[in-house]
Chain A
Amino acid sequence: MEPLLVFPEPVAPELAQALDIGGWPWKGAADIDAARRDEPADGWVGAIVMATHTVGMGGPVGPAGLDGALRFCRAIRNGDINVDSVLLLVNGGQLSELDPREDLFDDFCLHPFQPIEFETRLKHLFRRSGRAEDIDLIEYGPLAMNLETYQAVIDGKPLDLTYMEYELLKFLAAHPGKVFTRETLLNRVWGYDYYGGARTVDVHVRRLRAKLGEEHAGLIQTIRSVGYSFGRSRWV
């Protein structure tokens, strides 16, 4: 998935570690300008804003940290940068001050955090945003995929897929409109240097299209001399 925005930079070591272990890609930003500079084309998937550190210094601090964090959140809400959802990290002493500012973040977590609680909140939040890969349900037009049960339906009818066909469709459908090269698909879906090479991708796309049926085969588009994309192109 796309990286999460983490404020402030330098990022507290225990936070960086928790994100890395959980497999969440992230990018630190020292201020809103840095976040704007690094913003992906379709915005940030999510932001983690830490109120328990002062900007640029690291180490635990008091209210100054909270003010800086809320200023950052307010800039997000004002649309200075595009962020789907915001997780605020605060300490126990800061809790009472959050009450009038609840519109500035989507969820919060007490810091120092319990890694399991932190991970659960991340999943919960970024699942809701519909952007992370490990969401439970992918829906696109006539296609619905339940990632919990490994089942896919098209127009309400179940699709009979092999494991790799399922994984490929899941990956493509989780990123509608994005173009992937065969090599990228091979690395991201097969996950290792599969012996069939890039041709394997073509074979599986061909099989998937056949199973989607004539009417829906066009959901997977061939982008000439590049690779494949899923869904209708946003440029058309």
Chain B
Amino acid sequence: MEREQEYVLRTVEERGVRLIRLWFTDVLGQLKSVAITPAELDTAFSEGVQFDGTAIDGFSRVHESDVLARPDATSFELLPWAKEDEPSARMFCDISNLDDTPFAGDPRQVLRRNLDEARTHGYSFFAAPEVEFFYFASGDPALGKPQPLDHASYFDLTTADVSSDLRKRTIHMLEGMGIPVEYSFHEDSPSQHEIDLRYTEALDVADNIMTLRLVVKKIALERGTYATFMPKPLNGVQGSGMHTHLSLFKDGENAFHDGEHPYGWSATARRFTAGVLHHAREITAVTNQLVNSYKRIAETSEAPPYVAWARNNRSALVRVPIRRVGKPESARIEYRAPDPACNPYLAFSLLLAAGMRGIAEGYELPEETNINLFDLDDAARHDMGIEPLPRSLDEALDVMERSDLVRKTLGDHIFEWFLRNKRTEWSEYQSQVTPFELERYLPSW
């Protein structure tokens, strides 16, 4: 038995843990959990926990329905919200086939495979996401338009306090679970908040995002409110994004840094960025996977729809943050398209794969774009060689379907399942008559 597993077994015993939750993620990025008792833990480590995956989104297959959850002992963490007399804990799992090969439908295994691939070239991949979300009075669509907690009103001060208290409690709990928070603050829109996680290795970051989404929702529920990561829940105010900072490390050094370059940007960083830009349109269906995601991208604010990069231009898809002198380890790029409703394992896999292809094939980085792209029309942008991101899920799926990079990165199983699932989502949406149409057309036609 490995020492990590021995540590978990002993801790479960010593702390009187009653229930161990085995966490994994479906293809759409929803957290799933199987609970086991301490008595089963030993076997769970040695043999895995077998279950029927048919009902899990993206797990069903033709020939075999059972899969194995293999708990990752290094992710063992006591759950701070468990009752004191009933301590419980969680571990993230990798999903395997019964013959112990990685299961092709498991997003965590997909990210692992892509990280391993990058590692064969000496690179480890780090990410830091800025997660935005809203607090509402309720999450029930039957109650109509969602009501922000700190909507300007009579009780402004009191209600505003509710949401900052929620955020404070959330951060406290995240820190207690070993998820370091860099910043947190109230965002532009009413009741919109942002939590920025610190830089870590991409697999940990993806695990942390899954935990963060659960913790944010859980704490809101405890206080009788509702938190949502839906990309664009309100008309007329900016939606929720997940700008993500990316960098590669090689031999313990930041591979994006080059002291000789005018703004400290290495050739590796330039090629990686070129790769991310080149494949940006192909990966958008995954970084922005909901019909609703494209309502956010359509706005002219924090969700730049143009495939371009700049050091200080918020209309560009990739921003290269200006660094303080003498901080080579913080060299990075910021990719601004993803929203917090994405599957982080798959989104990170694709960003990494796109960047790595840029490095492998020596892509040339296009010129920096220093003008405000929102001020130009399509023709002018086209002349500059600047393309827009897909404008709808439908268009994003078309672009994705033609991408060999996305197919190779996600693997056939997820690639095909995702396209099928999302095509259905789109056609269901298309067949709906929306409030917009009724308001606009019913009176005049």
Contact = CB atoms under 8 A, between A and B. Distances in A.
Interface of A: 149-151, 158, 160, 162-166, 182-183, 195-200, 203, 206-207, 210-211
Contacts of A163: 3-4, 7-8, 73-74, 76
Interface string B200-214: 110010000000000
Contacts of A197: 124, 249, 251-253
A197 B329 CA distance: 12
Contact of B180 (A164, A198, A206): A206
Does more than half of chain A's interface fall in helix, strand or loop, or is it mixed? helix
Interface of B: 3-4, 6-8, 10-11, 14-15, 73-78, 80, 115, 119, 124, 126, 175-180, 198-201, 204, 249, 251-253, 329
Contact of B176 (A162, A196, A211): A211
B104 to A, nearest CB: 23
**9 closest A-B pairs by CB:** A197-B252, A210-B175, A160-B78, A207-B178, A198-B252, A163-B7, A163-B4, A196-B201, A206-B180
Given A163-B4, A163-B7, A211-B178, A203 B199 contact: yes
A195 B251 CA distance: 9
Contacts of A182: 252
A162 B201 contact: no
Nearest to B198: A206
A123 to B, nearest CB: 19
Given A160-B77, A162-B75, A199 B126 contact: yes
Contacts of A200: 201
A151 B87 CA distance: 15
A99 B80 CA distance: 59
B201 A195 contact: yes
A196 B74 CA distance: 14
22 contacts: A150-B6, A151-B14, A160-B77, A160-B176, A160-B177, A162-B77, A163-B76, A195-B119, A195-B201, A196-B201, A197-B253, A199-B199, A199-B201, A199-B252, A199-B329, A203-B199, A203-B201, A206-B198, A207-B178, A210-B176, A210-B180, A211-B178
A112 B199 CA distance: 56
Given A151-B11, A199-B249, 8 more contacts: A160-B78, A163-B7, A163-B8, A166-B7, A195-B124, A195-B201, A199-B199, A206-B198
A211 B251 CA distance: 29
A162 B179 CA distance: 12
A162 to B, nearest CB: 6
A158 B176 contact: no
Nearest to B118: A195
A207 B180 contact: yes
B124 A196 contact: yes
Residue among A151, A158, A160, A207 with most chain B CB within 10 A: A160
B21 to A, nearest CB: 15
A151 B4 CA distance: 13
A196 B15 CA distance: 30
B212 to A, nearest CB: 14
Residue among A150, A166, A182 with most chain B CB within 10 A: A150
Contacts of A165: 178
Contacts of B198: 203, 206
Contacts of B78: 160
B19 to A, nearest CB: 15
Contacts of A196: 124, 201, 249
Contacts of B199: 199, 203
A200 B252 CA distance: 9
Given A163-B3, A163-B8, A149 B249 contact: no
B82 to A, nearest CB: 11
Nearest to A207: B178
B252 A183 contact: yes
B116 to A, nearest CB: 9
B10 A160 contact: no
Nearest to B4: A163
Contact of A150 (B7, B80, B329): B7
A162 B14 contact: no
A162 B77 CA distance: 6
Nearest to A158: B15
B124 to A, nearest CB: 5
A162 B126 CA distance: 20
A195 to B, nearest CB: 5
B10 A150 contact: yes
A207 B198 CA distance: 10
Contacts of A207: 178-180
B137 to A, nearest CB: 31
Nearest to B6: A150
A151 B12 CA distance: 10
A182 B252 CA distance: 10
Contact of A149 (B10, B179, B253, B329): B10
Contacts of B74: 162-164
A28 B234 CA distance: 76
A186 B8 CA distance: 22
Nearest to B7: A163
Contacts of A206: 180, 198
Contacts of B249: 196-197, 199
Contacts of A158: 15
A165 B199 CA distance: 17
Contact of B11 (A150, A164, A195, A210): A150
